[in-house]
């Protein structure tokens, strides 16, 4: 008889929820349905992208659905622009950051939270000019994340897709342009400021900077409670400068009540 050969185990899935819209904050019931369709026990890591993690703490049906998921990893966007004309329905940063310690306690490890200071943008409307290309603003937000043990901040300059330009123009907003040298100079200063606080900066699809991963299978394996394997090969179909590893995005391009004017994922216009 031929020797018995066992088939390699199929890695559990890394789920992204979602680059396409704010599922946690605005579509938790949709998120629950999708998790149940996949089967929480089949999920290695659920990567959550959010500007408001409140439902992780207070939405009990969602918490019940997440109980069997192997690991929760949170990409938490706090730009400092909440409540401005660029992010009209996003809570101010001070209100968001009140949840920081509770979110870390829920996911079980501060390394399972990454801060997104993203995108970097300067814009003006009438006589009002707002920007987060501001190291004082960055420091004020970075300090609580660093103090709580969050190790990484992701950042990039806004991408002016055609529908984004149309949306800004329709809102009477003019975005400032930054040439490659200006981008590099600011990012170098931001990296230095972050380093002083013990934070590592990872740029997202920024030309001239190393290829980085927002979804990093190797990191997710190392942080997993039982170090279960997951896919670590680079995902297809992402932007040229994106190094993210394979995941399944379960979102759809749904209308987002945040109404961020710069958002590439918000349905046009």
- In the three-class reduction of DSSP (H, G, I as helix; E, B as strand; rest coil), residue 111 is classed as helix
The continuous run of DSSP H or E covering 47 comes out as: strand 43-50
Q: What are 30-75's pLDDT values in tens digits?
A: 999 999 999 999 999 999 999 999 999 999 999 999 999 999 999 9
With 80 as the cut, is the pLDDT of residue 1 above it?
A: no
What pTM did the predictor assign? 0.94
Structural domains of the chain ordered from first start: 13-119+131-158+178-249 (3.80.30.10)
pLDDT per residue over 241-262, tens digit each?
899 999 999 999 999 999 999 9
CA-angle at 17, arms to 170 and 118, nearest 5°: 50
pLDDT given for residue 7 in this prediction: 53
Helix (H) or strand (E) holding 145: helix 135-147
Residue range 103-162, pLDDT digits in tens? 999 999 999 999 999 999 999 999 999 999 999 999 999 999 999 999 999 999 999 999
Q: Convert 239-263 to b/e letters by CB count within 10 Å (16 or more is b).
A: eebbbbbbbebbbeebebebbbbbb
User: Mean pLDDT for the chain?
Assistant: 94
CA 17 to chain centre: 10
Whole-number Å distance between alpha carbons of 223 and 112: 7
């Amino acid at each position: 008889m031929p020797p018995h050969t066992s088939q390699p185990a199929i890695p559990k899935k890394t789920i992204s929820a979602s680059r396409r819209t704010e599922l946690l904050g605005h579509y938790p019931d949709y998120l629950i349905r999708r998790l149940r369709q996949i089967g929480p026990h089949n999920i290695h890591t659920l990567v959550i992208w959010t500007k408001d993690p409140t439902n992780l703490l207070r939405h009990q049906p969602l918490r019940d659905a997440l109980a069997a998921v192997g690991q929760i990893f949170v990409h938490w966007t706090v730009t400092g622009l909440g409540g401005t004309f660029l992010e009209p329905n996003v809570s101010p940063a001070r209100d968001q950051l009140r949840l920081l310690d509770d979110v870390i306690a829920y996911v079980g490890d501060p390394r399972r939270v990454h801060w997104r200071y993203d995108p970097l943008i300067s814009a003006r409307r009438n006589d009002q000019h707002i920007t987060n290309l501001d190291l004082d603003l960055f420091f004020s937000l970075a300090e609580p994340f660093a103090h709580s043990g969050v190790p990484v901040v992701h950042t990039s300059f806004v991408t002016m897709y055609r529908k984004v330009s149309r949306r800004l123009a329709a809102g009477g907003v003019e975005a400032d342009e930054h040439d490659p040298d200006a981008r590099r100079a600011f990012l170098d200063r931001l990296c230095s400021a972050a380093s002083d606080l013990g934070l590592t900066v990872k740029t997202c699809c920024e030309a001239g900077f190393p290829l980085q991963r927002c979804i990093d299978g190797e990191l997710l394996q190392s942080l997993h409670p039982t170090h279960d394997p997951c896919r670590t090969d680079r995902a297809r179909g992402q932007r040229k400068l994106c190094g993210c590893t394979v995941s399944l995005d379960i979102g759809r391009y749904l209308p987002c009540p945040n109404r961020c004017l710069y958002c590439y994922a918000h349905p046009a216009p």
